[in-house]
Structure 1
């Protein structure tokens, strides 16, 4: 009987550990969304790895900018198009470094849109859409990356995936975005 009890307790402990390990990113994602909607900058600073997020945004926006510039015939035909493609990442980098703040993260979560680094003023709290307009899809990308894909119901073809990365066994932080994410 003692052996069965020990096996039962050990099995229950393993199941509880696995459940906590698997559900941790969901709780972190919910905390991120709740803090963003409440405008809790202090909580957002704990839930976001800002250097990693800035690097991810730079990569995503530079890729998008290069894609758009290569499609634009005015840029392709112009001799200055190449210069613009060289200078744009540097300008974009500086803008992202100063623009990505807890307030901008809150704006991303509530509007399902990437930040606009050319915007000079901080986002207004009234700019947020109704919570019911944002569809959320949750899912693992791999064991250490979890995506919360946000889609504005008014623009169902545009998705913004917030990528949470594992930091230890149970801690997760927003560390990247995927602007071209497919809905889960």
Structure 2
């Protein structure tokens, strides 16, 4: 093999590896663009809604059961907690709820979200920090939080689907 062919193959391999490495970042960019454009269909293509809802219900039910431990009215609380969790998950796991989380905001019911004016949202966006990174070969986490509340981070977990596409599969809320 001549040197030009070796150099070309090396360059091609580096390009493919780099592109493979950056695929979750491209997915996040696509999600952010869809959220800013308020394009629910495009945003939904990056989310595995049934898996996200199930994971979030499990997390929220676990948090509520932990808080109810030792309470004599825990059995009654569990009944109400289940209904509350389902409602919360429906609000959070929606294109609008995800868009709010990507801006570092807590998802609110539609009526209150619409009441928030754009200047307040712009001020909140300026305070948002985002950290991203691989947790393994097929898992990538985006940590979103407001600078003045780093302990209130929302973690968006993406899983690799197929070889190069990524979908949101889990939302980890602050405890």
TM-score scaled to structure 2, two decimals? Answer: 0.83
Unaligned runs of 5+ in 2: none
Equivalent pairs, count: 170
* 1:123 and 2:113 matched: yes
Deviations 1:22-47 (A, max 9, x none): 00101111221232233221211111
* 1:176 and 2:170 matched: yes
TM-score scaled to structure 1, two decimals? Answer: 0.80
Unaligned runs of 5+ in 1: 71-75
Rounded Cα–Cα distance in structure 2 between residues aligned with 1:143 and 1:106? 26
| Corresponding residue for residue 130 of structure 2 | 136
* 1:111 and 2:104 matched: yes
Which secondary structure does the structure 1 equivalent of 2:103 belong to? helix
Deviations 1:52-88 (A, max 9, x none): 1111211221122222223xxxxx342x313422x24
| Corresponding residue for residue 55 of structure 1 | 54
| Corresponding residue for residue 139 of structure 2 | 145
Q: Bigger CA drift: 93-102 or 134-143?
A: 93-102
> Are the counterparts in 2 of residues 164 and 176 from structure 1 also a CA contact under 8 Å?
yes
In the TM superposition, structure 1's runs of 4+ consecutive aligned residues that sit over 6 Å from their partners are: none
Q: RMSD value over aligned CA atoms?
A: 2.4
